[in-house]
């Protein structure tokens, strides 16, 4: 399968992805760092400050470096229905110290044995969305977390008490239209570094949405590709399957990715996550 950046079914969606990636790439007026982007997957410093109630905290990763200019105007999701502005993750999160009832429920949860068994940090939470009945909090993962970000969703019951609705890894992706799901991609690790004159590369695409274990072949949209002096950003999206789907794990799809020009010494970045990740590394 050869995936190109041009025309065909889904080209209007691809144009939208180009707009999103273009904003992320040039908002700061700079090219990505050729030595590697600063992301949550870098080895972060850890903090072991005490929790608001004085109890010892699990180590908290230093906040991933998110430039406010790159976050402006970008809408993200953890893979759930709720979306939120990327700007909500800028800086150090302190929502666990807020005096409202939802923050109090968050504080009690992350300080409890259940919270610790889930690897939820006691500190560093950002309130990213809230309404009268739901609140979503996101924080950098602790040393025990399996991903760079974790989330806690709370729901208010009929008695007015805030209860945990969801908790676990938050796989930050740019929010996409209904019927279009996020995907991650990476270079084929058996192919080695592409030669400088390569215009196509061997890669794999993985659908993030539940698909009952079915291949995304035939549903992969033309990727958005942006070419800079230091990096080439590529973002894939996939048309999701209709109806309810099981989640046994999706098979990666082998592709030939057409970059449109020689890669040179530029870094290849997966724009399907936020911040973009090094596509030479197979994601967890």
The residue with greater pLDDT, 12 or 38, is 12
Asked if residues 49 and 142 have their Cβ atoms less than 8 Å apart, the reply is no
- Whether pLDDT at 147 is above 70: no
- 50-105 residue pLDDT tens: 455 555 444 454 555 676 766 777 889 987 778 999 999 988 899 999 999 999 99
Residue 251: which pLDDT band, with cuts at 50, 70 and 90? Answer: very high
Residue 104's pLDDT is what?
A: 96
Region 221-227: mean pLDDT is 92
Phi-psi region of 45 (alpha: psi -120 to 50; beta: other; left: phi over 0): beta
Residue 193's pLDDT is what?
A: 92
Residue 142: which pLDDT band, with cuts at 50, 70 and 90? Answer: low
Domain boundaries, the chain: 2-29+177-278, 46-173
Ranges 34-43, 68-77, 141-150, most confident: 68-77
Residue 180: which pLDDT band, with cuts at 50, 70 and 90? Answer: very high
Residue 268: which pLDDT band, with cuts at 50, 70 and 90? Answer: very high
- 123-137 residue pLDDT tens: 999 999 888 899 999
Region 30-55: mean pLDDT is 39
Which residues, 6+ apart, have CB-to-CB distance to 223 below 8 Å?
Answer: 3, 5, 14, 17, 185, 234, 235, 236, 237, 257
194 backbone dihedrals φ, ψ, rounded to 5° = -60, 140
| Average pLDDT value over all residues in the chain | 79
Residue 45's pLDDT is what?
A: 35
Ranges 37-46, 76-85, 275-284, most confident: 275-284
- Nearest CA to 37 out of 235, 227, 270, 225 is that of 270
The rounded percent of the chain whose pLDDT value lies above 90 is 50
**DSSP secondary structure of 74-100:** -EEESSSS-EEEGGGGSS---GGG--S
Report d(CA 244, CA 284) in Å as an integer.
25
Residue 65's pLDDT is what?
A: 61
């Amino acid at each position: 399968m050869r995936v190109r950046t041009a025309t065909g079914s889904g080209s209007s969606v691809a144009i939208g992805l180009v707009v999103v990636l273009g904003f992320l790439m040039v908002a700061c007026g700079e090219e990505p760092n050729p030595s590697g982007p600063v992301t949550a997957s870098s080895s972060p410093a850890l903090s072991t400050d005490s929790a608001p109630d004085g109890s010892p905290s699990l180590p908290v990763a230093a906040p991933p470096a998110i430039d406010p200019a790159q976050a402006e105007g970008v809408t993200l999701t953890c893979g759930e229905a709720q979306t939120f502005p990327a700007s909500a993750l800028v800086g150090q999160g302190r929502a666990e110290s807020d005096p409202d009832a939802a923050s109090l429920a968050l504080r009690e949860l992350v300080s409890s044995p259940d919270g610790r068994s889930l690897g939820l940090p006691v500190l560093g939470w950002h309130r990213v969305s809230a309404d009268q009945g739901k609140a979503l909090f996101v924080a950098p993962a602790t040393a025990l977390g399996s991903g760079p970000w974790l989330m806690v969703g709370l729901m208010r019951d009929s008695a007015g008490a805030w209860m945990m609705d969801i908790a676990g890894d938050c796989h930050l992706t740019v929010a996409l239209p209904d019927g279009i799901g996020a995907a991650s991609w990476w270079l084929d690790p058996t192919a080695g570094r592409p030669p400088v004159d390569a215009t196509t590369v061997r890669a794999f695409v993985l659908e993030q949405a539940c698909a009952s274990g079915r291949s995304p072949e035939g549903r992969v949209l033309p990727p958005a590709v942006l070419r800079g002096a230091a990096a080439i950003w590529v973002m894939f999206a996939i048309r999701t399957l209709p109806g309810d789907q099981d989640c046994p794990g999706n098979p990666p799809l082998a592709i030939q990715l057409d970059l449109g020009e020689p890669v040179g010494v530029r870094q290849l970045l997966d724009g399907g996550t936020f911040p973009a990740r090094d596509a030479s590394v197979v994601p967890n």
